[in-house]
A and B are shown apart, each in its own frame.
Chain A
Amino acid sequence: DAGITQSPRHKVTETGTPVTLRCHQTENHRYMYWYRQDPGHGLRLIHYSYGVKDTDKGEVSDGYSVSRSKTEDFLLTLESATSSQTSVYFCAISAEGGGFGGNTIYFGEGSWLTVV
């Protein structure tokens, strides 16, 4: 199994509070991703990173920010959590390299966030 750790795994928070989810990898992979998953929507890309301090928006980035100050950590922050951000959040990583389109994507176990 790829070395990906998400924390916290479960969190309940109140509307309006800031929340940070952490994705930590031990694989030294260049690419890191944050997805959210809701019933009927599949996996939707929030933000992704293609290197330290190189990040970009995904499909559903409003209300979220990210930071990547070192290769192994990718942080997802909800500045002011809303009930619509109640979801399961998955981190993913992937290596680079020649023809890297063939490289496997590895997922973390997920972080269950409930905003009340």
Chain B
Amino acid sequence: DAKTTQPNSMESNEEEPVHLPCNHSTISGTDYIHWYRQLPSQGPEYVIHGLTSNVNNRMASLAIAEDRKSSTLILHRATLRDAAVYYCILREGMNRDDKIIFGKGTRLHILP
């Protein structure tokens, strides 16, 4: 089973910020938090990842709770092209056996 919990769907208005939540209450100290998104008819693509500190890149920001049991992907100014399914996953950083489980993700709808 996926180690993360996300809402099934969310809606946001174009040009407004979007906060996508993810719960991972069983996270271990060596787990990295990754976010990927999948546009229609495409393979998933990397968005951002982090371990303990908040992270920023050109696509998004990742805010990680102090206890690391939850995180939030922030799209600062949503566009119609951001409509996609967003997946939050955990990657264990120490095991040779790197089994990566995705959940169902959050389908983000952007309203013009």
Contact = CB atoms under 8 A, between A and B. Distances in A.
A107 to B, nearest CB: 3
Interface residues of A, number: 30
B99 A56 contact: yes
Contact of B51 (A41, A45, A100, A102): A102
Nearest to B46: A104
B96 interface: yes
A94 interface: yes
B44 A33 contact: no
Contact of A101 (B30, B85, B101, B103): B30
Contacts of A94: 98, 100
A56 B101 CA distance: 13
B54 to A, nearest CB: 15
Interface of B: 30-32, 34, 36, 41-46, 49, 51, 85, 87, 91-94, 96-105
Given A42-B85, A99-B93, 16 more contacts: A33-B100, A42-B87, A42-B102, A48-B100, A50-B97, A58-B99, A90-B44, A94-B98, A101-B30, A101-B51, A101-B94, A102-B91, A105-B44, A107-B44, A109-B42, A109-B43
